[in-house]
Amino acid sequence: MPAEAAARRVAELREALELHNHRYYVLDDPLISDAEYDALLRELEQLEAAHPELASADSPTMRVGAAPAEQFATVIHRAPMLSLGNVFDAGEFEDFYARVATELESDTVEFAVEAKLDGLAISLTYEAGRLVRAATRGDGTHGEDVTANVRTIRAIPLRLRGAEAPALIEVRGEIFMDKAGFTALNERQAAAGLKTFANPRNAAAGSLRQLDPAVTASRPLTMYCYGIGALEGGPALDTQAGTLDYLGALGLRVSRDSRVVSGCAACIAFYEDMAARRAALPYEIDGIVYKVNARSAQDRLGHVARAPRWAVAFKFPPDERETRVLAIDVQVGRTGALTPVARLQPVFVGGVTITNATLHNADEIARKDVRVGDTVVVRRAGDVIPEIVRVVLDKRPPDTAPYELPSTVPDQERARLVQAIIHFASRRALDIEGLGAKIVEQLVTSGLVTAPDDLYRLEAETLSGLERMAEKSAANLVEAIARSRATTLARFVYALGIREVGEATAANLARRFGSLERIAQASVEALEDVDDIGPVVAASIHDWFADPANAALVERLRDAGVHWEEGVASGAADGAQPLTGLGCVLTGTLSAMTRDEAKHRLQALGAKVSGAVSKKTSLVIAGAEAGSKLAKAEALGVPVLDEAAFLGLLDDPASVSRWLPPPPTA
């Protein structure tokens, strides 16, 4: 075909394929069959191969994926990708609505409302109508460049359609996998003998972050757009509803489950309607998003930390399902404590298939009277941890019997040792990378490790003889074990696995006494004088160090080279640390350090770091994607520091007074 005719036909084919992509993936209203679409695409591929000069980055043929990348580049967002505060019941939403109405001096506030998709936030940048970059949310300021992968998602146009394209537009939205696509993907994975995904969100996140775009291209991803981060050369958009209409006019996919409602009662009615329809929707949602509709009102309300004050997510309550208790097994902890675990008939709850739920202890079993054979109601506590809520007594079989927790189990000492070594090597203890549960099982079963200090005598040649342990992996593990010799006093105390001594208690002990010898020699009374340590914990610590076998273990670990920097005891009267007595809570993601590092920095300054916000909380540090803790802090009036303010506090701890309310006057 002559070059001029080929160019015309290529342009025709691209226009036709873009139209059919839009009708199929955006409007759900196809005009032609899959076979007809494939024939057009093949013709275009053949013409582009015969005429390389006609190749274009935004051609429909480019959706098959680029070459695999070694890693994702970092992208700085033009404007921060803020997260949303959460509310969990009608009362909390009414409080949010009342605050907004008061600040806007209006009895009735108009909101744009839409379903909260359970997917992955994404930023798409179009220049002169062409997709030039796609980035994940990341920490809200920095994201990952996933442009090559996003180009493979057919619901996302490579060129904007319809209305005249602006010079630049950064579109915000959610990439997700609908229920049908998720089911089909898992069926393919299972048929190929590959690991299946727990829920659509995990499947979407894993699919988008593939280093090989061809893998992403094979996954059924789609997208809904919900906002604009930057706009140059476009119309003035006065409302959130108008923004969605504009995005739709550009050929971008927007949710059909969005409305504009006025007044608190109408907002709650929309929530209740969507909750009733939730199971029938073709995709997973976990709540409703409310945004003040008028842009001028949004600007007036502003934002705090990393969340806008003009928007909120009203989350659905935890999903609850019935299932049956197949058995009750006993797990052995690192201290030898026995924990009963209910083995459940698999049930899909809150996006995850649950097969086990801890019953904690004998008292918990007795309180709930859980028996083998019972039908029980299960949920994911905090949308994370599986738990049995209650027994459905009407469905109890007549031949069940109360469960009695045994005092011992077969091979209990070996199981205890395995858990103790796993704890010793865990990330918050000695942090031995690569020493997972399966390797520990082999080391203990083979007799290579009978106590934590044996780890430091392992050699790569010995480890390479273990199952699934190649020479390189063995050498890496030996290096990781060697690196763990340099630690901190707090980590070492936590790693010892003393009953009742968690990470915070270990940090308090290290800060108070300054050296392991002073901790070991402390009386029960002196231990009780440490923050958050009562009689039971104090006795447990004292008894552990009084045991000659434990003292010998500590000496062997020191002989093996495990060491830490010791300091001066702070003492009760010393109290010179600037954050002493303050209760702090961390929420969200920090870009400058991990949450663990931030926690240790705060504890080193004397602060108590807890996981829950209450009226007694002094400060909340909110990183990106802060959730319910941030919302609760704002509701209680607890001071909130964003990451920049937090880093300033670490640099100048004495400045903490600027964040705290003034002391009451006499």
Q: What are phi and psi of 173, to 5 degrees?
A: -165, -170
Domain spans in the chain, listed from the N-terminal domain onward? 3-64, 86-315, 320-395, 412-484, 489-564, 583-659
Of 218-222, 604-608, 618-622, minimum mean pLDDT range: 604-608
Please state the three-class secondary structure of 408-454 as a single string.
Answer: CCCCHHHHHHHHHHHHHHCCCCCCCCCCCHHHHHHHHHCCCCCCHHH
Alpha carbon 374 to its chain centroid, in Å, reads 33
Q: What's the CATH fold of domain 3-64?
A: Helix Hairpins (1.10.287)
Most confident of 482-486, 530-534, 627-631: 482-486
Measure the CA–CA gap between 575 and 532, rounded to whole angstroms.
16
Q: Is the pLDDT of residue 117 over 60?
A: yes
Q: Is the pLDDT of residue 3 over 90?
A: no
DSSP secondary structure letters along 113-158? EEEEESSEEEEEEEETTEEEEEEE-TTSSEEEB-HHHHTT-TTS-S
CATH architecture, range 86-315:
2-Layer Sandwich (3.30)
Q: Which residues pair with 324 in a beta bridge?
A: 375
Report pTM. 0.54
CATH number of the domain at 583-659, out of 3.40.50.10190, 3.40.140.10, 3.40.640.10, 1.10.3720.10?
3.40.50.10190
User: What is the pLDDT at residue 153?
Assistant: 92
Residues 6+ apart with CB under 8 A from 405: 330, 338, 340, 361, 362, 365
What does the chain come to in residues?
Answer: 666
Rounded to an integer, the average pLDDT of 186-208 is 85
CATH architecture, range 320-395:
Beta Barrel (2.40)
Q: Among all residues, which ones are annotated catalytic? A: 116
CATH class of the domain at 412-484: mainly alpha
In tens, the pLDDT along 317-349 reads 877 889 999 999 998 888 878 889 999 999 988
In tens, the pLDDT along 428-471 reads 899 999 999 999 999 999 999 999 999 999 999 999 888 878 88
Q: Is the pLDDT of residue 259 over 50?
A: yes
In tens, the pLDDT along 562-584 reads 999 887 666 543 445 788 878 89
User: What is the pLDDT at residue 573?
Assistant: 38
CATH class of the domain at 489-564: mainly alpha
Banded model confidence at residue 65, pLDDT cuts 50, 70, 90: very low
Tokens 């069959």 identify what position? Answer: 33
Of 268-272, 554-558, 639-643, minimum mean pLDDT range: 639-643
Q: Which residues pair with 620 in a beta bridge?
A: 585, 640
Q: Is the pLDDT of residue 18 over 50?
A: yes
Is it true that 412-484 and 489-564 share their CATH fold?
Answer: yes
Taking Cα atoms as reference points, which of 473, 551, 536, 538 lies closest to residue 512? Answer: 538
Measure the CA–CA gap between 467 and 321, rounded to whole angstroms.
39
Rounded to an integer, the average pLDDT of 532-537 is 86
b/e code 617-643 from CB counts within 10 Å (16+ = b): bbbbbbbbbbbbbbbbbbeeebbbbbb
Residues 6+ apart with CB under 8 A from 653: 578, 579, 605
Banded model confidence at residue 296, pLDDT cuts 50, 70, 90: very high
